[in-house]
């Protein structure tokens, strides 16, 4: 049983970068050459939040940082800024996992929404401080709202298709992974 859970752990740790690459692939496809007046939700951020909250052991900090840095480079964003903010946001959510485990989905969604608003505001603020032209405010707000709105769908797909569920209270393997890694 322990080998099965260890192999599943490593399979899911490999699945996260794989899904991230798939999302980036579809974001980079030139399907529409005319600029849109709206911004699509950031599925990569929603996926990172859902997996970080549901199963923190599936999303190690190094994997998350490398995936997001690669996304910054491939999507031509300022390298490392959004990656750093997302890593900080996901790590904050990972520390709140124990408290959110007993909360309803609405509490989890509210926590993710607050972190996403904070990331969006900090991203724009840092870009303005270093004199980099950020995306128009309207597009940033639309993307933030749509990412918050699509979060339940990402959680549903992650839970139903990939089995990324909150660990049960008696699941010592998932709960103590971070504790064992620190000792």
The full set of domains in the chain, from first to last, is: 2-27+38-165 (1.10.1760)
Distance CA 100, CA 102 (A): 5
Q: Dump pLDDT digits (tens) for 84-96.
A: 999 999 999 988 8
Establish how many alpha carbons lie within 13 A of residue 176's alpha carbon, considering only the half-sphere containing its beta carbon. 6
State the pLDDT at residue 62: 95
Q: Which two tokens stand for residue 155?
A: 């959680």
Q: How many helices (H) and strands (E) does the chain have?
A: 9, 0
Q: At what angle do helices 105-129 and 137-162 cross, to 10 degrees?
A: 140
Distance CA 169, CA 183 (A): 22
Q: Dump pLDDT digits (tens) for 7-49.
A: 888 888 899 999 999 999 998 888 777 777 888 899 999 999 9
Please check whether residue 12 is in contact with residue 173, taking contact to mean a CB–CB distance below 8 angstroms. no
Question: Using alpha carbons only, what angle is made at residue 138 by residues 135 and 144, rounded to the nearest 5 degrees?
Answer: 85
121 vs 179: which has the higher pLDDT: 121
Out of 72-86, 139-153, 154-168, pick the least confident. Answer: 154-168
Distance CA 43, CA 23 (A): 7
- Please give the DSSP secondary-structure letter assigned to residue 135: P
Indicate the pTM of the whole model: 0.84
Backbone CA torsion sign across 119, 84, 158, 170: negative
């Amino acid at each position: 049983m322990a080998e099965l859970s260890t192999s599943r752990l490593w399979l899911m740790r490999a699945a996260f970068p794989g899904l991230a690459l798939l999302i980036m692939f579809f974001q980079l496809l030139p399907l529409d050459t005319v600029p849109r007046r709206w911004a699509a939700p950031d599925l990569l951020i929603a996926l990172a939040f859902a997996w970080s909250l549901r199963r923190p052991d599936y999303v190690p900090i190094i994997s998350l940082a490398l995936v997001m840095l690669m996304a910054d480079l491939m999507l031509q964003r300022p390298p490392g800024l959004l990656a750093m903010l997302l890593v900080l946001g996901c790590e904050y959510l990972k520390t709140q996992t124990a408290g959110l485990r007993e909360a309803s989905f609405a509490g989890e969604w509210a926590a993710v929404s607050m972190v996403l608003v904070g990331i969006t505001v900090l991203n724009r603020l840092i870009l303005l401080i270093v004199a980099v032209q950020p995306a128009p405010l309207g597009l940033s707000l639309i993307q933030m709202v749509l990412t918050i709105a699509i979060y339940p769908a990402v959680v549903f797909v992650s839970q139903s298709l990939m089995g990324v569920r909150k660990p049960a209270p008696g699941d010592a393997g998932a709960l103590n992974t971070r504790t064992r890694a620190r000792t």
